Chains A and B, each alone.
Chain A
Amino acid sequence: DAGVIQSPRHEVTEMGQEVTLRCKPISGHDYLFWYRQTMMRGLELLIYFNNNVPIDDSGMPEDRFSAKMPNASFSTLKIQPSEPRDSAVYFCASSGTAKSNTGELFFGEGSRLTVL
């Protein structure tokens, strides 16, 4: 399996621009998570989905952030408008199958966002 695939790997944009990060989870996984990593705050859970349905979005910082999962193989995290404090590495992770969920998260390699 190719693992969790994220794009873009790096994004540099200017304040006020819209940013869209993309994720393809491991085929067959039922859960998809979006995490943000910064030096100051570590790894923060933003939102997670189960079977394409958002379950907990309490970590989404504000209305500028939105996430969707239109089907089992694709999710997006959108920031509009972006601000310099959104600069971070954004990770997508997936876990679990219908038959067995060990709890292990499989992370992508992350999308490093820089907002100037």
Chain B
Amino acid sequence: GENVEQHPSTLSVQEGDSAVIKCTYSDSASNYFPWYKQELGKGPQLIIDIRSNVGEKKDQRIAVTLNKTAKHFSLHITETQPEDSAVYFCALHTGTASKLTFGTGTRLQVTL
């Protein structure tokens, strides 16, 4: 089945700095790569996604890049703010299957 590795598991950055989280996968048939943010006591929420026919997508301070050859995709958060502190999960979706497989999560802490 699908396998996705996520790094780092924890990340601490100062407010205003950038944060990068990376995920690698093994199934070349994977075609949809979303990122979810989970705040304390809540369920994960989609923040950005990318499909396999696109290399990069940006939405204000967040961006996702995809390298299909190397089988990795990354989340980039620029100008980090305290409200960016949360757990971030990458996920992937393969073929016609409707289920998502999630990475192990990255706990991001933005310090003042």
Contacts and interface: CB of A to CB of B under 8 A. Distances in A.
Tell me, yes or no, whether A binds B.
yes
A105 B103 contact: no
B101 interface: yes
Interface residues of A, number: 22
Interface in B69-111: 89, 93, 97-105
Nearest to A59: B99
B40 to A, nearest CB: 11
Contact of A109 (B43, B102, B104): B43
A95 B78 CA distance: 29
A104 B41 contact: no
A8 to B, nearest CB: 14
Contacts, number: 49
A43 B105 CA distance: 9
A17 interface: no
Contacts of B45: 107
A42 interface: yes
Interface string A1-22: 0001000000000000000000
A50 interface: yes
A109 B42 contact: yes
A56 B99 CA distance: 9
Nearest to A50: B98
B104 A42 contact: yes
Contacts of A4: 43
A90 to B, nearest CB: 11
Interface of A: 4, 31, 33, 42-43, 45, 48, 50, 55-56, 91, 93, 95-96, 101, 103-105, 107-110
